[in-house]
Each structure stands twice: as structure tokens, then as C-alpha cells.
Amino acid sequence: MRIKCIVSYDGSQFYGYQVQPGQRTVQGEIEEALSEVHKGKFVRITASGRTDAGVHAMGQVFHFDTDLQIPAAKWPVILNQKIGRDIAILSAEEASEGFHARFDVKTKEYRYIIDKSTVALPFRRHYAVHYPYHLNVEAMREAAAHLEGEHDFTSFSSAKTEVIDRVRTIDFIKVEEIEHELIFRVRGNGFLYNMVRIIAGTLLEVGTGKYKPGEVMKMLEAKDRGAAGKTAPAHGLYLWEVNYQ
Amino acid sequence: MRIKCIVSYDGSQFYGYQVQPGQRTVQGEIEEALSEVHKGKFVRITASGRTDAGVHAMGQVFHFDTDLQIPAAKWPVILNQKIGRDIAILSAEEASEGFHARFDVKTKEYRYIIDKSTVALPFRRHYAVHYPYHLNVEAMREAAAHLEGEHDFTSFSSAKTEVIDRVRTIDFIKVEEIEHELIFRVRGNGFLYNMVRIIAGTLLEVGTGKYKPGEVMKMLEAKDRGAAGKTAPAHGLYLWEVNYQ
């Protein structure tokens, strides 16, 4: 039986999502709990994708296969008792045998949170990136609009990216203000390595006036990582939602 | 010279605001930093009031006296370098010699944050209280309105309260919904021990239907801690703002 789970985590105390020898990772912690339930038989989980150290998730998705006759809805209760309080299985359901948490992704939404306070707020220090400079939000929205749609995002991906096809479609980039925070919401059909963090970093530099909104079009055309803005820090990033239809 | 500071802190790793021998406290950490700046001479700080272990502050206020000829605006930079990243001095200004951070308070605003998600969100576990039950927000608002104004809040204060006069005025109690969170905003001219946490706990029990909105009037009349609802946990509470005019 294939089980599909939605999991939320606080990335602060993890060495990222993916299993790394000798490090605490989200995947490692869940696989350990699952293997315990399966009486020591190792159970692999497959997620929609990795997240880096410090990156949080509201709704990461993974699947695993089990022979145990446990109703799907019981899995969150069973697993949440065994894993740290900084991971929470939000829900579980039986998926078709052919379902694949990575290959079947249709769209993902990421959010990136900025703390605009003059001095970094202590209770947001692991959950939002402190950026106390004056930001022209309208300019940022204009730049964001240029990034929406289908583009080659080579300039907005890590120079280490090995993927050949770097054309992706962004459904929307919204820039929302809630009190002292600014939130970027980015939904698209696929994301290259560091893509959201480079988009966030570039939008911030548009906000401060370093780049004009229209310049992001030239950045896209350049197809060169050096053409776009900085990579914003990991701890402002949240994998918010993964959609399969 | 008397300096007035606004300070924010993440209460998670503190044994409360007030100095306690052998424990890490907000007051202790700031006084230690100040004494270091004053070359070992102990400097006492006086806050608008205490906060319990786990309680956060967005805008706590304290004052201290100094002989050092340091421009007031420099104090945040100097102190923030010496204290943990879970405390941040947001601003400092010279106050009149007669200013007193506790006695001169006109009003305070507290906020109380509820995480309504079915499963507690990991990145909110120290910053919002998880309450997954269905809540009737309209009933909560109706109950909140009954608590506004001038009342004897004996029923809404810890049984350990030694204060004789328990009449306080609440300017407003707002119940706001933002995505998966519910925020109570409570402003008043003074608060008894545990008062906001008992108001929050009672409103939650009105939300679940345990009490009818009108019953809070009877709770007030009873002048008995046993008449009101439960004391909600510390980690959902924020001292948000202290006003002196």
C-alpha cells in the first residue's frame, strides 16, 4: 500500500531535508520512525524534492510503501509520537500504486518571509530574514510580474545546477505586506536549485533601488547566474504547498 | 541621565523577565551587559512589569540611569552586541529624570496567538498555542465585548494575586483571524497576574461552546478565580506595546 503524507517542519535544527551520514535530517528522522514501526525493516520515503538546511516546510509531501494494515489516517498519530516536535505529519492518505511524490508534482508554492523591522525581531530570527532597508514595494511587484510566465531561469539558479532544461513556468509571484513583514509567494511548475532564494534576493535589490524593475528581463536574457541578484538566506524560505492536479 | 529603552525578546529560552538566581532571565542578561559597559559597576534596569517564563515581548519598556556620556541612540547598538540574539533593544531615548517605566504606564497592549491547525505547526510551536478545536469566533467576540470597560477582574486573575484593588479598564479586546491563526489583542490600563492568559483561556472555552458569551458577565460578578475559564499557556502571550501617554 502506498501512503502519501503532508509534512511540516521547522528547518532550524536540521541539516536539510535529505539524509546525510551523521547529520540530523528530516528524511532521516522520518525514515527512522517508519523503520521502527516496521520492526526494524528499513522504509524509504520519497519527497516532492529536497530543502536546504534552515529552510522550513508548511506542506512538504512524501510517499512510502508499507505492508502493514494500518488505516492511512492513523499514520500521522503514530509517526508524530516518534519524531521530534520540529516535524509534524499533518495528514496521510492512501495513494494509487502509481503515485510518485516527486514525478507527479504539478505545481509548488514557496513563500519567503522578510522581517522589515529596524532591529531584527528575536522571535522571528529563525523564521524570517531581517532586511531593515527601505523597500519600494511597487517596484518589487513590477519586477515580479516580469518573472511570471515561461522563461529560461538559468540566471536565477545556482551556478552548480546540472539540469540541462532550465525553462520553467511561474504562475504568480505575489508581494504581500503584513504588519512588519513582507511575504513573497511564488507558485510554479518547477524550480531550479536556489531559484526562489535568488528571486527573493533580486526582488529585495529591486526594492532598494539597486536594480530597476525592467532590468530583471535583461537578467533572464543573460542566462548567466552572475546577471541576477544575490541568493537570499535559507531561513526565510518555506516550501508552502505541493499540488498534484 | 535616564535612558528609556524598548526591548523585544523571544521568551522560549528564558526563565522569565525578572532576575532569578542561577537562571537565565531577560533582566539579568541586560543588566549584565550594562554593567560590563559601566566597567563592572552594577546597573539596575526597571521594566514596565514582569513577564513569565515562555512569554514573549514585542515592545517591553525599561529605564536605567547612567553617568556615561553616550548618545541615547547608541545604546541599542552597544547592548545588542553583548546580549543573546533572543533579546533585541529596538530603540533608546533620553527620558526626563522623573520618568518611571512602571509607574508611568498609561496602557499596555498584549497579544495572544492561537495556532488553529489540526496538527501543531512545528515552526510555531514556541510562538503560538495549538488549539485544533472548532471555534465560534462570533461568540468569542461577543464575550470579549462584555469584558471591555471597567470591571473588577478578580475572577480573571491568579488566585495568588495579592493586589487589593482589582478594578481595571480594558480599552478593547479584538479577535482577529490571519490564515491558520487567531490573534487576541487586549489593551488596558493595567493587568493583574495571569489576567490576559485567563481571558484567552476563557475566550477559547466560549469558542468551543463550553460557556455562552453572556456567562462572562457572571464570571466577573463572582469575583472568584474558580468562576472563569482556564489559564492559557504562556508561550502564546506577547507583551506587545507599552504606552505612556
Within-domain flag for B100 = no
Q: Is A14 exposed, middle or buried (0-12, 13-18, 19+ CB in 10 A)?
A: buried
Q: Is A26 exposed, middle or buried (0-12, 13-18, 19+ CB in 10 A)?
A: buried
Question: What is the CATH classification number for the domain harbouring B77?
Answer: 3.30.70.580
**Residue B235: its pLDDT value, please?**
97
CB contact under 8 A, B85 and A127: no
Residues A196 and A143 in one domain: yes
Cβ neighbours for B158, distance < 8 A, ≥ 6 positions apart: B192, B193, B194, B198, B225, B231
Question: What is the CATH classification number for the domain harbouring B160?
Answer: 3.30.70.660
pLDDT per residue over A43-74, tens digit each? 999 999 999 999 999 999 999 999 999 999 99
Contacts of B12 in chain A (CB under 8 A): 123
Contacting A residues, span 56-75, partner chain B, CB-CB under 8 Å: 56, 58
Residues B121 and B22 in one domain: no
Contacts of A14 in chain B (CB under 8 A): none
Residues A85 and A13 in one domain: yes
Residues A111 and A164 in one domain: yes
**Residue A227: its pLDDT value, please?**
97
d(CA A195, CA A198): 5
Contact A17, A66 (CB under 8 A): no
Contact A14, A86 (CB under 8 A): yes
**Residue B161: its pLDDT value, please?**
84
Distances (CA, A) of B122 to A80, A84, A127, B127, B182: 11, 9, 11, 10, 17
- A175 C-beta neighbours (distance < 10 Å), count: 22
CB contact under 8 A, A118 and B89: no
d(CA A174, CA A228): 19
pLDDT per residue over A78-115, tens digit each? 999 999 999 999 999 999 999 999 999 999 999 999 99
- Give residue B223's domain range: 109-243
Of the residues B39, B71, B95, the one at which a domain ends: B95
Within-domain flag for B104 = no
Please list the ranges in chain B whose pLDDT falls under 70: none
Residues A87 and A168 in one domain: no
Residues A56 and A118 in one domain: no
Residues B72 and B116 in one domain: no
Residues A128 and A216 in one domain: yes
CB contact under 8 A, A10 and B117: no
Contact A156, A202 (CB under 8 A): yes
The yes-or-no verdict on residue A161 having pLDDT over 90 is: no
Residues B144 and B181 in one domain: yes
pLDDT per residue over A178-213, tens digit each? 989 999 999 999 999 999 999 999 999 999 999 999
d(CA B50, CA B28): 12
Of the residues A47, A72, A95, the one at which a domain ends: A95
A80 vs B: CB within 8 A: yes
Nearest CA in chain B to A9: B122
**Residue B137: its pLDDT value, please?**
98
Whether B238 has a binding-site annotation, put simply, is no
- Could you write out the DSSP letters of every residue in B221-237? HHT-GGGS-PPPPGGGE
Contact B166, B154 (CB under 8 A): yes
B32 vs A: CB within 8 A: no
- Could you write out the DSSP letters of every residue in B166-188? -EEEEEEEEEEEETTEEEEEEEE
Within-domain flag for B101 = no
Average pLDDT value over all residues in chain A: 97
Residues A52 and A145 in one domain: no
Contacts of A90 in chain B (CB under 8 A): 117-119
> Of the candidates B13, B11, B116, B120, which has an alpha carbon nearest to the alpha carbon of residue A87?
B120
Residues A127 and A88 in one domain: no
The three cell numbers locating residue B35 = 554593567
Within-domain flag for A100 = no
Cβ neighbours for A121, distance < 8 A, ≥ 6 positions apart: A115, A128, A130, A180, B8, B58, B88
Contact B107, B90 (CB under 8 A): no
Residues B116 and B193 in one domain: yes
Within-domain flag for B168 = yes
Residues in chain B: 245
Contact B24, B78 (CB under 8 A): no
d(CA B143, CA B131): 18
Chain A to chain B Cβ contacts (< 8 Å): 71
A181 vs B: CB within 8 A: no
Whether this model's ipTM surpasses 0.95 comes out as: no
Q: What's the DSSP call for residue A14? A: S
Within-domain flag for B218 = yes
Of the residues B44, B65, B95, the one at which a domain ends: B95
Within-domain flag for B103 = no
The yes-or-no verdict on residue A160 having pLDDT over 90 is: no
Within-domain flag for A101 = no
**Residue B160: its pLDDT value, please?**
87
Q: For chain B, what is the domain count?
A: 2
pLDDT per residue over B27-68, tens digit each? 999 999 999 999 999 999 999 999 999 999 999 999 999 999
Contacts of A121 in chain B (CB under 8 A): 8, 58, 88
